[in-house]
Structure 1
Amino acid sequence: MPKPWRPVLASATKCCAGEDAAVAPDGLARCRPQQSELSRRLASFRRLSSLANSPASSAATTTMADKDGSVKQQQQGGGGGEMAGPLQLHSFGLGELRGVTHDFSSSFLLGEGGFGAVYKGFVDAGMRPGLDAQPVAVKQLNAAGFQGHREWLAEVIFLGQFRHPHLVRLLGYCCEDEERLLVYEFMPRGSLENHLFRRISATLPWGTRLKVAIGAAKGLAFLHAANTPVIYRDFKASNILLDSDFTAKLSDFGLAKMGPEGEDTHVTTRVMGTHGYAAPEYVQTGHLNVKSDVYSFGVVLLELLTGRRALEHVRGRTAHAEQQVKLVDWTPPYLSGGSRRLRCIMDPRLAGHYSVKGARAVAQLAVQCTAQQPRDRPRMVAVVEALEKLQGLKDMAVTVGLWPATAPVAGRNAISAKIRAEVKGAGAGSRRRSASSKMP
């Protein structure tokens, strides 16, 4: 039976009436837009799409969406000339995308998320002028799901305007009747989450993990450097995609938000995101700024170090004896106790093949990024500089005596037992499951 709907931070934000609201199975409150509201948003999108073929201006003009779906424009600075200018996207027909994905065949299904299903396809060079033949990922909005036109429009607006090596490239969209689809460049390595947690392939080497962290940090730094910063708001391992060279690119901008302007220090919004990644001040007050993204980045650094999820579900002997353990709460005693204590929580699949100095520096950076007070967290530009200095270090733990040379690659039971002992006492069993549940 679904939970009764209740508005979050009703005093700070306008929300829909109870009869127009629904609650997803994961507890995420969603508002079903009224027909008049949907029509207004579609009109805004038509004005937006009319920009698609306009000539690029010398000063990049970025089109943004207000929280009600209306469209506004602003001059954008910074970013080193990596802003795209007016909307540069292809408009696809539903029939074309059916052909590209073989009628959305399950054989081409790449995965499913809150937005809907994602399919692999291939576009021909002659389909659109200027569009190269290439594999693509087609994301189809689930009409019965809990993400809708607002999230779809945010993806079109943000990714349609931005061009950066560490942001996934949006090639086009489809908007026919009630159908909403997005067409992205195909990322052959999938998400960081798959490589860290699902054990479907060989473990990521330390150098690759560092490369992924640097790439993701550069993507966030680019968003934060705009005249009006863009707050990503849902930074997590599953939203970091990897290309064939393990270059990290940020995806899924459905929850992205324009940051504070002028003398404002934050924007106030409904609490949305993913448990375990969201900054504490945002969860408690709804106050959002770029330092909220920095906190989430620190959590991902901890995941790269430990190979463990941001939120662990520890289950005892009985079915109802369950407790959630946050990675940010469990790791601090090991992060500041020297290299030997840090070794206790390092991902065993690395088998000691990680830089001791590098891991220690990443651990300290994670501590700074996950500081309770936003003012104590570094800016993403400083994070990028700190991470880049760690490339090329060769002091492997297995060669300096901090890791037994014969240690098995897979040895997670000892770490799991340590968590169980700290949470429920020795002897309690544990079972891990995905922590991708959304916030209410």
Structure 2
Amino acid sequence: MVEFDYEEIVKATDNFNPRMLIGKGSHGLVYKGVILLKHNNTSLVAIKKPSSHKGLESLHEENSNKLQNEIQVLSSLNDENPHVVKLIGTSYDSFNNNNKVIVIEFMPNGSLHDWLHDTKPNLPTWPKRVEIAMQITRAVQFLHEGKPLVIHRDIKSCNILFDSQWNVKLADFGLAIIGGGVQALTQPAGTIGYLDPCYTTPTKLSTKNDMFSFGVVLLEIISGRKAIDMCNTPASLVEWAIPLIEQQHWLQICDTRIKVMPNYMVSTIIHFLRVAACCVSPNEDERPSAREVITGMEDCFIEQVRFPIWASVLKKMVRFRKRKKVIKNIVSKSKTQVECECKVEEDGEEVDSDTYISTEKVAITFNHLLADVTFNLGK
């Protein structure tokens, strides 16, 4: 972690110019800026400073404490994870109560909340939604199985960001806590709609609270609805979705803005809805761990991929056998007959008989089929 000179931060953000503002977290303002890193290389980064409120010094102090907590939590992560935002460095303003500022990697493609709920033509496809869900789960698993353990406490679509390759990164660790005895001293916190209703006292804090929030995000990904939306009845996504899941009205939950769902995706989406229902269960013991969720997702994903591959293989084999019959009939005819009958019909399609006139060409056709099968299996 790098300790930056504060003047460098001010210069990078053009003195925290509003035009450089790219977002607002639960406790800070986020600016973009170009900063000098190792080997004299410049890099576009995100710079977060605590939100200031005129006349509300106590709130400003609270936000500063959250930012300090975020630094502590991110610094405690001994190993880098591809789905957790990276802390690059810090700085502090010696002229303004030593306010800390943090420098993190820049995420150019916004948040999951933006992608799902802003009016955009390029909504995430069903396969992309599955990928997003799996990447979020891996981020949560990394935190929950780390040494030390980290509980995020504010998992929501606004805190799930996308890098330049549209890969997920979990961000905003201002409310996160490091495992041990700390949770006994920490008051319940989170965001309405994602906050576990079982988390009512400091002693109720556990990884199961994060899994509840994750379950809400999973429902959000599949349905395209916000966690809380006063324009809907009921306003709560959980209260709306769970009865439909219990009645197995799967398609009524799925995002209606995407008109077609591939057949091979249906079982995967149903599996994810069942997982989401378990995660938001009022009985904490029924909620799975992140490891259990990702294992189930991977098994389901393998089945989902395997089915269309073998369906494609079988379809090609059936077509090949039909064509083999056509070839046999053509080859058995005299040369004159073949020349006169230049085309044959196969399942309503006209097929050029010359394509299949020799056993050599038959072998080539079969080799092409096998090559195609190998290609599909490699996907």
Query: Of the candidates 274, 280, 296, which is equivalent to residue 197 of structure 2?
Result: 280
Structure 1 residue runs without a partner (length 5+) = 1-88, 316-322, 397-440
Return the alpha-carbon distance in structure 1 between the equivalents of residues 103 and 221 of structure 2.
29
CA contact (8 A) 2:25 2:172 kept: no
Question: What is the letter of the counterpart of residue 101 of structure 2?
Answer: L
SS at match of 2:189: coil
CA contact (8 A) 2:117 2:225 kept: yes
Quick check: 1:369 aligned with 2:241?
no
The runs of 4+ residues in structure 1 deviating greater than 4 Å are none
Moved more, 102-111 or 243-252: 102-111
CA contact (8 A) 1:109 1:118 kept: yes
Match of 1:158 in 2: 73
Question: What is the letter of the counterpart of residue 125 of structure 2?
Answer: P
Return the alpha-carbon distance in structure 2 between the equivalents of residues 233 and 205 of structure 1.
28
CA contact (8 A) 1:116 1:139 kept: yes
Quick check: 1:307 aligned with 2:224?
yes
Match runs of 1:154-193 below 5 Å = 154-162=69-77, 163-177=80-94, 178=97, 179-193=99-113
Return the alpha-carbon distance in structure 2 between the equivalents of residues 230 and 306 of structure 1.
29
Identity across the alignment (%): 31
Question: What is the letter of the counterpart of residue 215 of structure 1?
Answer: Q
User: Deviation string for 1:233-258 (max 9, x for gaps)?
Assistant: 11111111111222111111111112
Return the alpha-carbon distance in structure 2 between the equivalents of residues 150 and 239 of structure 1.
19
Superposition deviation, residue 148 in structure 1: 2.2
Task: Identify the structure with the greater helix proportion.
Answer: 2
Instruction: Name which structure has the greater RCO, CA cutoff 8 Å, separation 6+.
Output: 1
Query: Of the candidates 13, 18, 21, which is equivalent to residue 109 of structure 1?
Result: 21
Query: Of the candidates 135, 154, 158, which is equivalent to residue 215 of structure 1?
Result: 135
Match of 2:64 in 1: 149
Aligned CA RMSD, in angstroms, stands at 2.4
- Structure index of larger Rg: 2
CA contact (8 A) 2:212 2:279 kept: yes
SS at match of 2:82: coil
Superposition deviation, residue 107 in structure 1: 2.4
Quick check: 1:226 aligned with 2:146?
yes
Query: Of the candidates 307, 319, 329, which is equivalent to residue 239 of structure 2?
Result: 329
CA contact (8 A) 1:260 1:289 kept: no
CA contact (8 A) 2:219 2:276 kept: yes
Question: What is the letter of the counterpart of residue 210 of structure 1?
Answer: V
CA contact (8 A) 1:281 1:287 kept: yes
Return the alpha-carbon distance in structure 2 between the equivalents of residues 152 and 220 of structure 1.
20
C-alpha change, 1:324 and 1:91, in structure 2 (3 Å) is farther
Query: Of the candidates 23, 27, 42, which is equivalent to residue 133 of structure 1?
Result: 42
Return the alpha-carbon distance in structure 2 between the equivalents of residues 156 and 385 of structure 1.
31
Return the alpha-carbon distance in structure 1 between the equivalents of residues 64 and 21 of structure 2.
22
Return the alpha-carbon distance in structure 1 between the equivalents of residues 19 and 301 of structure 2.
40
Return the alpha-carbon distance in structure 2 between the equivalents of residues 353 and 120 of structure 1.
38
Return the alpha-carbon distance in structure 2 between the equivalents of residues 313 and 349 of structure 1.
20
Match of 2:165 in 1: 245
SS at match of 2:68: helix
Question: What is the letter of the counterpart of residue 169 of structure 2?
Answer: K
Return the alpha-carbon distance in structure 2 between the equivalents of residues 227 and 159 of structure 1.
12
CA contact (8 A) 2:37 2:43 kept: no
User: Deviation string for 1:347-385 (max 9, x for gaps)?
Assistant: 112222351111100000001111111111111101111
Question: What is the letter of the counterpart of residue 258 of structure 2?
Answer: L
Return the alpha-carbon distance in structure 1 between the equivalents of residues 21 and 190 of structure 2.
25
Return the alpha-carbon distance in structure 2 between the equivalents of residues 115 and 130 of structure 1.
33
CA contact (8 A) 2:220 2:227 kept: yes
Match of 1:33 in 2: none
C-alpha change, 1:373 and 1:131, in structure 2 (3 Å) is farther
Query: Of the candidates 254, 257, 266, which is equivalent to residue 346 of structure 1?
Result: 254
Return the alpha-carbon distance in structure 1 between the equivalents of residues 115 and 51 of structure 2.
26
SS at match of 2:276: helix
Equivalent residue pairs, number: 293
Query: Of the candidates 247, 254, 269, which is equivalent to residue 186 of structure 2?
Result: 269
Return the alpha-carbon distance in structure 1 between the equivalents of residues 234 and 27 of structure 2.
26
User: Deviation string for 1:232-285 (max 9, x for gaps)?
Assistant: 111111111111222111111111112356xx9x74631211001111110367
Match of 1:68 in 2: none
C-alpha change, 1:165 and 1:91, in structure 2 (3 Å) is same
C-alpha change, 1:118 and 1:360, in structure 2 (3 Å) is same
CA contact (8 A) 1:229 1:258 kept: yes
Match of 1:122 in 2: 34
User: Deviation string for 1:56-79 (max 9, x for gaps)?
Assistant: xxxxxxxxxxxxxxxxxxxxxxxx
Quick check: 1:236 aligned with 2:156?
yes
SS at match of 2:175: coil
Structure 2 residue runs without a partner (length 5+) = 54-58, 309-379
Superposition deviation, residue 139 in structure 1: 1.2
